[in-house]
Amino acid sequence: MNTHEQESQVHRSRELRHENVLQVQSQWNNIHLFLVCFLLGVSLITLLDCCRASSEPWVLLGSAESPIWDWTAVFLVLLYTVLQGALYYLPVGQVTEGKMSFHGKRLKYKLNGLHAFVLTVALVLSLWFCGFIRAGAVTQRLFALVSAGVCVSLLISLILYLHPLTTSTSTHVQYTNTAKPMLSFVLGHIMDPCVGDIDVKQFVMVRIGFIGWAVMDVIYLLTAVEMKDSLSLSLLLVIIFHLIYILDFVIDEATILTTKEFTEEPIGFIMILGEYIWIPFFSSLPVYFLLQKPNNIHHLSAVFICLLFGIGFLIYYLSNEQKDGFRRNPHDSTYSSLETIRSPSGQSLLVSGWFGWVRHPNYLGDILMMFAWCLPCGFSSVLPYLPALQCFNLLRKRANEIEESCLKKHRGAWREYCRRVPYKLIPYVY
């Protein structure tokens, strides 16, 4: 190789490194970042603590029955992480292409979350039936599990920050404001880090977050069985609804590959922390509330709640199917009867079917399902409704972001669509 060729290769290498860096301006400052990171775990422990009887001492002030730190809890969180890592390598599930990398090639992801979900739940049930674990002992360590989740999240985030686990296809994020070091740690400075064949972002979102949520629900169910008098119809309904929702998510694991969090945001401490503690423990808050404060409901009320969940699930599932199918092949005969608006971008906007009813019917289905699994908790406290309220606010913000993006992309066609379908989330209301 001559000198000219060597110089050309060095120059091209520098160009690739430059292309591999994404410049980001963030409004977060160091104080905001610190408060969010510190208060997330503290607020979660406080919310869980509020579900218990008022006569019990506050966990944050010291409780012998429910300690805030326990080395066994740390071992359990680490063991669960290793187990999910091992299950990722199961020789099952398809490999699919995801987003485009910086050099024009699509990243590949292994989709065997359903198999990991089934095996994890089966393992927990088997260990319990054989007497190797007692669910009540795990539930008693709930607050210590949250603390352990914070520490494990911190450890993984430090590894990503100090020793980036990246491939040649991963994009680096560079922040342009003064809180750059803190931003790089909290929000992340790598888009798609990998450990071996494991995509870290996909791993924490699916295996740690959602399967962890299912595990906590199963642990609560087994705890209620051990307590005998705490196993109620209300608790069973909420757990069944949760498991149906989680099962649908892991079956359609590929849908996460197109979300904004996955495609546009790097992974840092705040995302990892959310998947380790917020999804498993906050999302299962209604179940923990019923475990502490059982609520008996009439069978007719249960029928209404089941119908509400079923309607929400159908709207959620069928609208997503219509959206994804039309996006893949708008000329399919299935959609020939649907009315559309032609966009300047060359695409067509659905203005009938589910999307002629409200602009985000899949979000409406989500809201109905989450409200349905809060209703069995009764109306004695707002605590079990907090996950649904947070979800509604999140979906509302996400809908606004999507609409801003669609207005830029489709311009007049989008304005016409909004005129003909005036309701964003809830028909005749919002």
Q: What is the pLDDT of residues 69-119, one digit of tens each?
A: 889 999 999 999 999 999 999 998 888 877 766 666 777 888 999 999 999
Q: What is the DSSP letter of 193?
A: -
pTM over 0.85: yes
Measure the CA angle with vertex 63, ends 58 and 67; round to 5°: 115
Measure the CA–CA gap between 78 and 300, rounded to whole angstroms. Answer: 43
Average pLDDT over residues 415-427: 86
- Residue 290: pLDDT band with limits 50, 70, 90: very high
Mean pLDDT (the chain, rounded): 84
Sorted by where each begins, the domain ranges of the chain are: 22-296, 297-430
What stretch of H or E contains 18?
Answer: helix 3-19
Average pLDDT over residues 145-167: 84
* The pLDDT value given to residue 430: 77
SS3 342: strand
Average pLDDT over residues 283-295: 93
Where does residue 341 rank: exposed (0-12), middle (13-18), buried (19+ CB within 10 A)?
Answer: middle
Rounded to 10 degrees, the C-alpha dihedral 25/28/29/34 comes to: -140
C-alpha closest to that of 272 among 390, 117, 161, 109: 161
Average pLDDT over residues 176-198: 77
- Tell me if 177 sits within 8 A of 25, measured CB to CB: yes
Residue where the block lists tokens 């959602």: 210
- Residue 166: pLDDT band with limits 50, 70, 90: low
* The pLDDT value given to residue 17: 41
- Residue 234: pLDDT band with limits 50, 70, 90: very high
Highest mean pLDDT among 178-182, 254-258, 292-296: 292-296
